[in-house]
Chain A
């Protein structure tokens, strides 16, 4: 039984070789794509659980591929890139990536990130809310469905997990580190830019006016707080 199906998208054959050897040894099923077009062609047929996506590729490139993948699927996407500026990270997360690793990386770290990305919080956890309903926002945490002003809205798994955690702590400020670890995993905590990007995207999807948030409030120097009323 495989631990999950991973699509490795990279134009460098040696990197694909190393990934395949290592991931297969860790019981993952591996499929490969040499570029963005190739990846988009394979995604619907293969239905991978996770995509490891190189940024710098000939053709449509990593960012564009990421955007296309995200527009049609909830698959977890980890971006691998030689660039390590915050701008590049934010651009990748904005395009729909769940995580970002700078090349070169240690395999242990990548494996940890893969495990974290594949570890979806169960759809109906014991604790925490099952539903939330306000005037223009209805969330059913069991079916992972959300309606904004009566219209069904799609959230990515990470956005959904983030929202659920905030709602479960409604009224309390949740520190950055706690939020990162609850949603991404115990190895995280120093990636405030992840929160900035995902909170922004969440606000765009659920807030009546994202510039003046009503539900997801920023607590300066601390973190974020969900205001249900």
Chain B
């Protein structure tokens, strides 16, 4: 027992007096040793034992809780919130990107599950052999590049993204160690080039790079509900087909076709040619990727006379019966303004539109004044980027200091460059009783219409509509008329500016039309970029000869799709009221 006492000596320093351990060393004390009997050891033991029993029941309660919870977790798994993580791909959650559909639910963009192949070079046994085997499946792989990447000290090397099921099965069967698949999804565009510019495309990581895919990237990533566009793919198809035909016919470089619902501001079709296949955007040229209706700014030419006329009448300065001198050319500070078809006499306001006189338009604009013109164009949204749900929008170009010469040229659509969408949205507002709607590419109910701004009075609107009908019935837009649908419109032929000089042979032929004109429902803009004159157009390449016939053919085909019945008799006005004789306009519905 000595060693014990020695071992515990260090404790002795504090409790020496009550330290009775040493007694144990004395064997004589062993039998009689009851050191603290005064404290009733027996009683304490039985208390301890009682409390032990209490603890036992506590433990049994604990075990019951564990049993219950175990049963719950194992047999009623629904009651616990278990995050279902895939046991294989713990770090790569698959996000399903939402579909994009047209207004009728036709799929424009969707996501397909694919398998992507990667390699873990650290697990590969024979890299050369692996690459050779892979080359047999994917002959276009770069042998040297892949081998050098596999030889680098990495544990993750992409081999090929988005394999088809058949390809992944073949690779699977190769049985090369270190090759792994990750489930991914690939964006697919079943309609190909048909709506390429509007829908846009996403990159290999499913990030939207252009079009709706880009502007709605966040929505598409987070939502599972499809995004419904205002586009009607049937109308889009008709317009694209007719425009393609016209471009071929006149060996033009490109074209634009936009169809808008005047009453809601919805864009029903938006064609930009040339276009590209969004399933393979890498092969597209920058010209093909260029979305002309919203990204291209052009001097629109005579179609701007709609705005000029509307402004003149609405300002109250000019009456529809006023006459303006169209004798030319008009000399303004070193510039000369010509007419394409010189009439060389006084013209009434409708006649100015009918004959598309630049000289008379310029004179009319001067009477209205620079300040009014500027405010009016601003109200029509022609001086700001058009607000539509795409990020690729261009800023209009207009003179910084607005002098008289600018006012005069802008009257007939030169000296200001806007996008085609600007033009059609402006024209829609003019014919829609002066109510300006912001355009949209997203399907909306008629109750949910964005910005409404009154740009002209309804009376002015009706007079402009009458004049636009006159242009199609008697003027430059004759070839756009479709029996029974009462098309109204305005032609435009702008000379394109290249390096600051107007080119005689590079034109932009356009036609903006509204139908049915007595109750405007739809606005259609057709633009053909650099058409070459040919025999069918009798040597012309103007809006009236190139764009107007295309618009006519399109309206003929889309009107039934739009559920518009042809009308036999014009209900409210007859264009005969505008007898355009040498004496000018004689009657105006008895209102003026």
Question: Does B bind A?
Answer: no
Residue ranges of B at the interface with A (Cβ–Cβ < 8 Å): none
